[in-house]
Each structure stands twice: as structure tokens, then as C-alpha cells.
Chains A and B, each alone.
Chain A
Amino acid sequence: MLHPVPRLRETPSQTAGPYVHIGMTPNFADIRGVYASDLGASMLTPDTAGERIIITGRVIDGAGVPVGDAVVELWQADSNGSYAAPMGPGSNVAPAFTGWGRQPTDADGVFSFETIKPGPVPGPDGRPMAPHVALWIVARGINIGLQTRLYFADEADANATDWVLGKIADPLRRATLIAHREDGAPPRYVLDIYLQGDRETVFFDV
């Protein structure tokens, strides 16, 4: 089918470099006073509905070394499985839950999000996908941002029929996307992201 306008080429990606924390989490990088707080640092408000959880893990490179200069962004549905509607130019009030978070990794490669457990979202086949969050990872040495997902180990039945997990034949590869649960208040879901090697995380072309 002919396209009505000539397509432009997407601007090519470049690595976020070693100092991505300056641009994306400046307060964490000790650049204080420019922004009141780092964007995406807090995902919850008192009005956020849903089960409070912590999503945490480490980013680890192919030599087994924690990646301490990464940024991880998280995008998820609310507890009903709905994504936040886009804010227009006149939007002054953020919704009770935007579904987006951003965290730096620390010197041990650790990231941590305080959020809520998402509800199931319909997949392309119309059936619900298992609850999950989308993750995007950038750092020095990553030439184009890495897209992946985190699923929840205590959703085994939903995971077994998930549209995306079903595309991954190797159970060891599939397991790279499933966070284990540690009970607590709030419960923690833990998943390490391996950029390379025997336990390399499954990354997506989305």
C-alpha cells in the first residue's frame, strides 16, 4: 500500500554514556537545586489504588560486574489493568497513578521501585496478558536502550498462557523475565537483569 507522505528516518540512537545520571536523575548525582526532585523517583500518591509492592533487582554485565551507571525506567498499568491516559497541554493535575517510574542503579547495580501490582492488560489476541511491567535500560556501553518485561512468579497460571512468554520456547530464557517474591510489608519482587552471558535477559524488539 502506498503511504501518503514520505517517511522520515528515525533519529539514530547513541549510548546514554557514563553520566546519564546527570541528565535523568540529577539529584541522585548530587546536582541539587535544578529540579526539586528527580522525575519518576516516586510513583505512588496517597490516592494510588492497589497492592503496594517493591520491584527491585540488579543490572549485571557479561563479566558478572554490577552496572552502577545505568538508568532503569518502568511503565505499567494500574491495578485495573489500564494505562494512564496522555496528559494534554492544559493538564495540571497528575493522575493518582501515572504508571511510570525512573530509578538510577547504585554502585552495587541495584534499582528499586515502590509501586503497585499491575492488573492484567489485554494482549493482541484479545485475551489478558499476565500482569507485568515494561522496563527500559540505558547506560554507558548500551548503544540503544534495552526493552524487556518483568513478570511475577506468583502469577504462575497467568504466566503459563501469556502472549509474550509463550513466544519464548526455552524455559531457562523465559525464567529471565520472572521476578521471585519475597514476603514482607510491602512484598518485594526481585529480578536481576543480565545484559550478557549464560543468564542473559530476554530483550525485545518492540
Chain B
Amino acid sequence: MNNERRVSLALTSTPMILIYVMVVFCVIAAIRQPAFLSPATLINLCRAGIFTMCFAICEMVVIISGGIDVSFPAIGCVAMYVPMYMYNNGMGVDSVFFFFGVAILIGLAFGILNGVLVAILKLPPLIATLATSSVASGGLIMLLGTREFTTLPPSLDWLYSINLLTYTDPATGFKYPLTILFLVPVILCIVVALVLRYTMLGRGLYAIGGDKNAARVAGFNVKKLQFTAYIFCSVMASATAMMYTTLMHSSTTTALMGEEMIIIAACVVGGCRLTGGHGSVGGTILGVLLITLVQNNLNMLGVPTSWQIFAVGLVLLLGAVLSSIQAKRIEKLGKI
């Protein structure tokens, strides 16, 4: 392939098109609403993207390994609700370690359950995690009721109050703080990207997502890798859920329910293939950015917020069409 073809392919690759769409979106928003260009927009975007980003990385790892996990919102709800419930009923200590520790243990337990269902019992991942989701969500409501905790314990309140930086709008005097928890998705992205690219564990996840049988023949421990993916997803989603409680001052049994579809969509827009073996941290970041941008700044374009779901739908459609066109283009290039 000559260099010109290479460049033209790179310029029209899916990530580049996502970037173009985002740039166009921002330019239009900036023309209609000069306030869009304020640093406040960026800070809001970062805040709004924290959860989506963390969840998307979790889901991406499972999708790369050839599976899918629709149970993380339900597991997250259990993980955010149970520690708060314990605390409010006099069981437990007021410590960041307690809240996050219990959340992570809960995530670990459900991650192992998903691993057993998928890797050992060989259930289809969609059905297995759907079952886990119902069991987790239903069990929580059945055993612990449906309260809503809106007051944070002092330790979490302390965590909430630490900011990385605060921007004060010179015109209005409004303060826009960026929480320290923003570092979590940043570090997560870096670590996961490095693990996926530079460790046998990471390459193993791609390998089992590409061809399980070939991976077995090559000597990869397929079951162990599947367990790793599901446990990582649940544990990280549980910690993210506790971050949600901290930042939103709210812990309910259903706060995250329904999130799975938009997260999976963000992964797919970012280049993950649901058949497994494909996906990257960079692509997923782009997918999350685009969806977060559209979700939070539609009003800047002068589009009513009631159009939000519709607009997100359009973004998904764009992602799906893009990957299908890309696949056709590659096919046209012919086999080598």
C-alpha cells in the first residue's frame, strides 16, 4: 500500500471522524453561544464524564475478551447502597476505606459469580450477566428495601470537598470546582492502556476475544482470563458507584439502572466490536467524550433538552454506520 493511500485511510478512520464530529459540534456551539468556550464548559464536561468513562473502560475490557456485561449498573447499585445502609444502621465505621472497601468486596463477589457463569458454566454472557443483574437488583430491594440516602457521612463529605482545581468565572463569580476523583478515570485509562498493550495478560484478553480455541491451543488460560475480565469490571464498577454516591450525594437502589446500554454504545462508537477482540482505550475515550458532549451541551446548540435522547440516538447511529462503512472499505481493499 502506498503512503498516499495510508494517509487517506488514516484521515478517514473512525477515530478521526469522531474527532471531526466533535470539532464541528464545538464550533457550532461556540458560534451560537460564545459562553461555550469558557473553561467552565471543560470542567463540566470532565465532571460529567467521570462515571461514564470509568464504566466504559470496565465494559471495554469485557467486550475485548469476547464477552459482554450488562450487570455492572445493578452491581454498582448494591455496592453503593449496602455500605450506606450499614452505616446508617450503626454497622460500620465512618471511613473512606470502609465505604470503598465494602463496595469493592461486593463487586468482587459478583465478579466471581459472573466469571463462574460465563467461564465455567459457559452460559452466553448476555444472559448470564442479565441474570446476575436481576438477582443483584432484586435481592437488594427484597432484603434491604428502597430507601434513599442523601446525607453523606463525614468521611465521604471530606472526600467530596477535595478539589483538583477551581475555576471562578470572572463575569459572574460562579465557582467551578473539579473534584480530585477526576484523577480516577485518568489513571484508570493509563493503567488499562498499558496493561492491554504491554502485558501478556492484556494480549491474552485480545487473544481469547479473537479466537478462544486458538488461545487455548497457544497455552493461554482462557478461564482465568475470562474471570479477570469480569472481576475487573465488577470491582471497578463498584468503586465507581461509590464515587457516584460521593459526588451526587445520593445512594439509591436504582440510581445506575439503565446505564449499561449507553455505556456499551459508547464503547461501540469508540471502535469496540461486540464480537470481541477489538477495542482500545483511546477509541473508548473518544466514544465517551462524544456522548458526554452531546448529552451535556445540546442546549448550547439551541436544541431543546427534550431532544437529548433523540440526539444521543443519532450519535449511536453514526457510530454504527461508521463501523459498517469502515468494514466495507477494508473488505474492498481485498485480501492480501
Q: Do A and B bind each other?
A: no
Measuring CB to CB, which residues of chain B are less than 8 angstroms from any residue of chain A? Answer: none
Enumerate chain A interface residues (CB-CB to B < 8 A): none
